[in-house]
Structure 1
Amino acid sequence: MSSADVYALVLARGGSKGLKGKNVRPLGGHPLVAWSVAAAKASKAVDRVICSTDSDEIAAVARAYGAETPFMRPAELAGDFSTDLDVFGHAVRWLADHGEHPDLMVQLRPTTPFRDPEWIDRSVTMMRADPTITCVRSVTIAERTPYKMWCKAEDGKLSPLLTLEGVPEPFNMPRQKLPPVYWHTGQLDVVRSDVILSGSMTGGRIFAIEVDADSAVDIDGIRDFQMAELLLDEAMPQAVRDAIAAGRDARVQSSEPRLSLG
């Protein structure tokens, strides 16, 4: 492999507490993890799609839809307090030990299933054009401005979370007069492998792919899953639908035994 490769990494552990088994729970007739695999497969920029999981079931589902599972994630990196950096660091080091040195790593979280493959392609193009960009992230305008948020001391006294140079009491200003603030949606991160190995998931020059807030569903519990089901028809790009259908068809036509997803 060349140093210019782009690898997508889908993180899907088996021990979800908020909604048990959510990564293989069917969304629109396909396991949740399959939608992230399909987005990577639909991207023109991604060279290889890998699922990092500690679960044999999730690994089998990911493979059924076209991802690779060349390694299983160690149990110590699949706990509630494991970080993205821990898991990506493990993956990048494992790849290096096996002669693989991708330039860019694409994070596709199964819990944020609505993403356009074009976002991936555009992010990669941005980072190819400017080698100083260390990371590109999907963001959207924050629904609530942090300039109107507060910290509370033990005695009950409030202090503003943020101040704004040149603006006295921004917490008393109309929202429309405050600077726009962007929320990281979690749908997409593209980061350089050498940045990960240096000990960061972003590095110091982070650029934005601005996305529609209506697509930014982050599934933690059953209500989030129900919201995703309601939005599926309008929020899931056709390219991802086509890719997941292709993955399903490949599974059906495979000579291997059919995998039960129900």
Structure 2
Amino acid sequence: MVETPEILAIIPARGGSKSIPMKNLASLAGQPLIAFSVQVAQQSKLISRTIVSTDSEEIREVSRGLGAEVPFLRPSELAQDDTKDFPVFLHALEWLKTYEGYLPDFVVHLRPTTPLRRAEKIDEAIQLLVDNPSADSVRAVTFPLQNPFKMWTEEAHFMKPLVDLNIPEPYNQPRQNLPRVLWQTGYVDVIARSTLELKHSMTGDYILPFIMEEQNIIDIDQPLSLKIAEFLLKEEVY
């Protein structure tokens, strides 16, 4: 186990957004949205370094003003609507290794679209992975209000169960009879660098759940969600 791990927080924040123009700089309680992720990383007792990966000069300047590092601009081909997280994170790690010789032990994924977090929760998730070296990653999850065993797909005008695990008519079963399910929240992910570099994955094969009871975890994906987040922030119910 690493005695004093080097922990890098990466905040991926591209300039493009269809739902809210320049969403990562949208105003929330008088601050740019990305500020909340930068601030919680700065409040963490375990995060060693915080960088923002962006293709936008404007986001770069705002992030630097908030105290985050932006040592490079992300290539435009890694900032498209359908760009996945893995190549973005691998690009950041390869750049830091090539130009700085920097090799973190663990990487913390802080999505700017999930602004309402507590630093102590981030540190708990980090510590969970540090304490379990056989795990590849930690992912924040909660118990969902809806159960996928009661969900459907549609095929040839008829419905088919979304999940089929040889449970007789799961959609007619009481919730208590169904397997416990977990919903990933986007609150925080913690990944071993070896998982990214050797397994070429954001999660790997051995994923520890960081179970959160909180239900007020919000993802900013439309103007209404900004208003909801502002209310939760004002009431401190997150």
Q: CA deviation at 1:115?
A: 1.4
In the alignment, is the contact (CA less than 8 A) between 2:55 and 2:76 conserved in 1? yes
- AA aligned to 1:129 is D
Q: CA deviation at 1:3?
A: 8.4
Q: Where does 1:1-262 land on structure 2 (aligned, <5 Å)?
A: 4-97=5-98, 98-153=100-155, 155-165=156-166, 167-198=167-198, 199-235=200-236
4+ aligned runs moved over 4 Å, structure 1: none
Q: What are the ranges of 5 or more consecutive residues in structure 2 without an aligned counterpart?
A: none
- AA aligned to 1:173 is Q
CA separation of 1:30/1:44 partners in 2, compared to 1, >3 Å: closer, same or farther? same
Q: Write the distance in 2 (CA, Å) between the matches of 1:137 and 1:18.
A: 26
In the alignment, is the contact (CA less than 8 A) between 1:215 and 1:235 conserved in 2? no
- AA aligned to 1:119 is K
Q: CA deviation at 1:118?
A: 1.3
- AA aligned to 2:186 is G
When normalised by structure 2's length, the TM-score is 0.93
Cα-to-partner distance string for 1:15-39 (whole Å, 9 max, x where unaligned) = 0111002211121111100000001
Q: CA deviation at 1:182?
A: 1.0
| Mean CA deviation greater in 99-108 or 215-224 | 215-224
Identity %: 43
- AA aligned to 1:29 is G
- AA aligned to 1:91 is A
Q: CA deviation at 1:175?
A: 2.2
| SS of residue in 2 equivalent to 1:215 | coil
- AA aligned to 2:220 is I
Q: Write the distance in 1 (CA, Å) between the matches of 2:78 and 2:4.
A: 26
Cα-to-partner distance string for 1:90-116 (whole Å, 9 max, x where unaligned) = 001111112000010000001011111
Q: How many residue pairs get matched?
A: 234
In the alignment, is the contact (CA less than 8 A) between 2:6 and 2:106 conserved in 1? yes
| SS of residue in 2 equivalent to 1:184 | strand
In the alignment, is the contact (CA less than 8 A) between 1:43 and 1:118 conserved in 2? yes
Kindly report the root-mean-square deviation, in angstroms, between the aligned alpha carbons of the 2 structures: 1.6
Q: Write the distance in 1 (CA, Å) between the matches of 2:233 and 2:78.
A: 31
Q: Write the distance in 1 (CA, Å) between the matches of 2:41 and 2:56.
A: 20
When normalised by structure 1's length, the TM-score is 0.85
| SS of residue in 1 equivalent to 2:215 | helix
In the alignment, is the contact (CA less than 8 A) between 1:137 and 1:209 conserved in 2? yes
